[in-house]
Amino acid sequence: MPVVVLEDIHKTYRLGSEVDVPALRGVSATLEAGEFLAVMGPSGSGKSTLMNLLGCLDRPSRGRYWLDGEDVAKLSRDRLAAVRNRKLGFVFQSFNLLSRTSALENIELPLMYSSEGLNLREIKRRATEALELVGLSDRADHHPSQLSGGQQQRVAIARSLVTEPMVLLADEPTGNLDTRTGIEIMEIFQKLNDRGITLIMVTHEPEIGQYAKRKMIMRDGRVVQDEPLDRRLVASEEKEKVPVPADDDEVLP
């Protein structure tokens, strides 16, 4: 069964009472479990709108959306939020970590708010495991300001994983990072993808898109290209070709 099915999705924003802005004009796509999709296209082409719909943050004006077999296009906002918490993880360009809490606490947060009713020990265990997965066990007690940008993004990825989502949505995850660090983030994504997580990533950086397995290009609210990447880059190999920036791993006082 596919993880995501979009069928003729339209999204029109209404500005005032008169002006309609068609942001998506008939997007269809199917994603199987284990895919790694890069969504690309110029500014204004509808990428963010599509991600908001995929992320159950908004509903389409028209069309169908099945997530893990569940028809979510018409769910109420509350039901959408529940689906979002259960099935999706999010990674953003700006990390969005809470600055006054440690890396580990940031990762624990989604579990504190989840309906699973886990006890604190179990929450800590799962957060610790997620931190290990992104290679940051030794930074559990650091606050975001004591971590480099790449490390903060790794914490954000661990936070997105701790609820064991089936799909990870990443919006320009390397947008604030230097080249080498960006490739390191792609290395983590490829590792997670190898473990079975389905990834959907918006990026405007063509090189970053090359780490995905499939590339979708949007223009004017439509998909103009959607095909597998036959010359996919392997991040663990590519990162060796790029020098480590002088301030990498810097821990601020």
- Binding mask of the shown chain, residues 38 to 77, with x at each position contacting ligand ADP by CB under 6 A: ---x-xxxxxxx----------------------------
Whether the Cβ atoms of residue 94 and residue 114 lie closer than 8 Å to each other: no
14 neighbors 20 (Cβ within 8 angstroms): yes
Contact 174, 208 (CB under 8 A): yes
Nearer to ligand ADP, 46 or 60 (CB): 46
To ligand ADP, the closest distance from the beta carbon of 39 in angstroms equals: 9
Where are any strands of DSSP class E within 128-221?
Answer: 167-171, 198-202, 214-219
Q: Does 21 bind ligand ADP (CB under 6 A)?
A: yes
Report in angstroms how near the CB of residue 119 gets to ligand ADP at its nearest.
Answer: 40
Determine if 28 is a binding residue for ligand ADP (CB under 6 A).
no
Q: Which is nearer to ligand ADP, 23 or 199 (CB)?
A: 23
Number of C-beta neighbours around residue 101 at 10 A: 14
Q: DSSP letters of 28-70? A: EEEE-TT-EEEEE--TTSSHHHHHHHHTTSS--SEEEEEETTE
Q: Does 200 bind ligand ADP (CB under 6 A)?
A: no
Minimum distance from CB of 140 to ligand ADP (Å)? 35
Question: Where does this chain bind ligand ADP (CB under 6 A)?
Answer: 13, 15, 21, 23, 41, 43-49
